Amino acid sequence: MQLKDLKIIVTGGAQGMGAHFAQRLQEAGAQVAVGDVNEERLAALPAGIHRRKLDVSSEDDIVSFVAWAHGAMGGLNGLINNAGILRDALLVKKDRTTGQVKKLSTADWNAVIGVNLTGATLMVREVVTKMAETDTKGGVVVNMSSIARHGNRGQSNYVSAKAALAANTVTWSREFAPFGIRVGSVAPGMIETPMTQGMNQKARDALVSNIPVGRIGLPEDIWLAVKFIIECDYFNGRTIDVDGGLNF
């Protein structure tokens, strides 16, 4: 698929990787509809990009947004499933000083699963439904998983969501084949975004020391993988790890 032929939704596209993807797509001639909860940053996107508030934890929001994007672009043949949040904590932790045992809250579990898995899944469902209803051929879905899908301390909720997205990339590639829709996934390692910039510096430095290429990834590094999935019509049902060779 050529980038210029895309009429594509980017979720979580007001900042970080999503904003970078949207800009690259527009530069290549694609029509792009960006959704995000951050309306201030949405307004700052380059002219020509369709934008509207979207909370992917709301099914009603998703259904409405997909219908709006289809109308705004005069069609729909792509999705970059990028929206995500973090609520990191150990599942069970004992304070070394007080001896108090703390648990990952159900609210933090549900928040991450609601955005990163349920919301992502409903986005795929609604986008593919629209493509099927309009007999759109040659569609593509790109899920944003994470290298954390292999397991990472303090991220039970995030790991669960990202592992499920990688697994369902395979499932959906098989289910959507009759519609001519491919599904791929990118699993970033540590990438320079507002989310990672808020990390504790000591933890950040320790993580970078385990990356053989010796640096944090950039949104452009991930864009190259997304671009490959979109353009390579023989790529389907697989996840690309882009992590600088990170050692766990």
* Residues with a known catalytic role: 158
Dihedral, CA atoms, 96, 99, 100, 106, nearest 10 degrees? 60
Maximum Cα–Cα distance across the chain? 62
74: which residues sit within 8 A by CB, 6+ positions away?
Answer: 7, 31
CA dist 186 and 172 (Å) reads: 15
CA dist 178 and 181 (Å) reads: 8
- CA-closest candidate to residue 112, choices 85, 81, 89, 90: 85
- Cα 88 to Cα 111, 126, 149, 151: the distances in Å are 11, 29, 14, 13
- CA-closest candidate to residue 225, choices 76, 11, 24: 24
